[in-house]
Amino acid sequence: MAVSAILFSKNFKGDGMKRVPVDQLLKDKQLWNEFSVSLQNGGVAVIPTDTLYGFAVAADCEKAVTRVYEIKNRSSRKPLILFVDRVEELENLGFTLKDGLLAQLKKYWPGALTAILPAPGHPQLRAFNFSTMGVRIPNHQMLLEIIRRLPVRLLTTSANRSGDPSDVNPDVIASEFAGEIDWLIDGGILPEGMASTVADFTQSPPVILRQGKIKL
């Protein structure tokens, strides 16, 4: 593994957080394997998305999910969001979809729409303990490649303390979370992002819970 593949936070103090350019992560096989194994074993990453930077953990690892809630100081009543790389994954994971819903979601995905659906009881999602689940396909090609390659599913949430604004600058995120996360996947300074629209598709017509980038 090339030494240049890993950049440490400016405030790095021996805590083990690895700051890696997203393109380098995808090119370097050894580095990728290290990242993948880390997530499988409870690691917490911050990743770039098409809206904001977000925490990402394996959806089958309760230890990792608990760490994110502690880092964010997030209420245990607020679920994390599942990222998938393609619509067909919903059926692979056992989601029950109403007639026409798949076609409706394809109009907005990949994109900044989080769809609330009945949660399936799939083993790869066993760290998720809510009756409904928010799902999104981000419009970020390198992130989609990460999702596609990983052997685990990703649960995500914005990379900030609960109640604080999210940041699009990885330097700010590194300074804030260097001692608490394992990986910062650096996608540079993101465009000033608006959070995704959240819509409850368990109701008909769907109910907007948070208005964001996309208007239904």
Given a contact cutoff of 8 angstroms between Cβ atoms, the answer to whether 171 and 11 are in contact is no
- Alpha carbon distances (Å) from 116 to 169, 197, 201: 28, 11, 5
State the chain's maximal CA–CA distance in angstroms: 53
Cα atoms in the Cβ-side hemisphere of radius 13 Å centred on 176: 19
Mean pLDDT, residues 20-32: 97
Given a contact cutoff of 8 angstroms between Cβ atoms, the answer to whether 63 and 152 are in contact is no
pLDDT class for 23, splitting at 50, 70, 90?
A: very high
Mean pLDDT, residues 107-129: 97
Given a contact cutoff of 8 angstroms between Cβ atoms, the answer to whether 153 and 58 are in contact is yes
Reading the block at residue 136, the tokens are 């999104």
pLDDT at 15: 52
Mean pLDDT, residues 17-26: 97
- What percent of the chain stands above pLDDT 70? 93
pLDDT at 192: 74
Mean pLDDT, residues 109-124: 96
Alpha-carbon distance of 166 to 186, in angstroms, equals 15
**163-179 pLDDT, tens digit each:** 998 889 999 999 999 99
* pLDDT exceeds 80 at position 31: yes
* pLDDT exceeds 70 at position 118: yes
Would you give the DSSP letter of residue 64?
H
Would you give the DSSP letter of residue 130?
-
pLDDT class for 83, splitting at 50, 70, 90?
A: very high
Q: Which residue type occupies 47?
A: I
Dihedrals φ, ψ of 21, to 5°? -60, 135
* pLDDT exceeds 90 at position 3: no
pTM of the full predicted structure? 0.91
* pLDDT exceeds 80 at position 41: yes
Dihedrals φ, ψ of 178, to 5°? -55, -35
- Which strand (E) or helix (H) includes residue 88? helix 88-92
- 168 in helix, strand or coil? coil
Mean of all residue pLDDT scores within the chain: 91
Domains of the chain from N-terminus onward: 16-210 (3.90.870.10)
pLDDT at 190: 94
Q: Which residue type occupies 103?
A: A
Q: 205 preceded by cis ω (within 30°)? A: yes
Alpha-carbon distance of 11 to 34, in angstroms, equals 22
Separate counts of helices (H) and strands (E) for the chain = 7, 10
User: pLDDT higher for 144 or 99?
Assistant: 144
Given a contact cutoff of 8 angstroms between Cβ atoms, the answer to whether 172 and 160 are in contact is no
pLDDT at 2: 34
pLDDT at 5: 38
Given a contact cutoff of 8 angstroms between Cβ atoms, the answer to whether 20 and 186 are in contact is yes
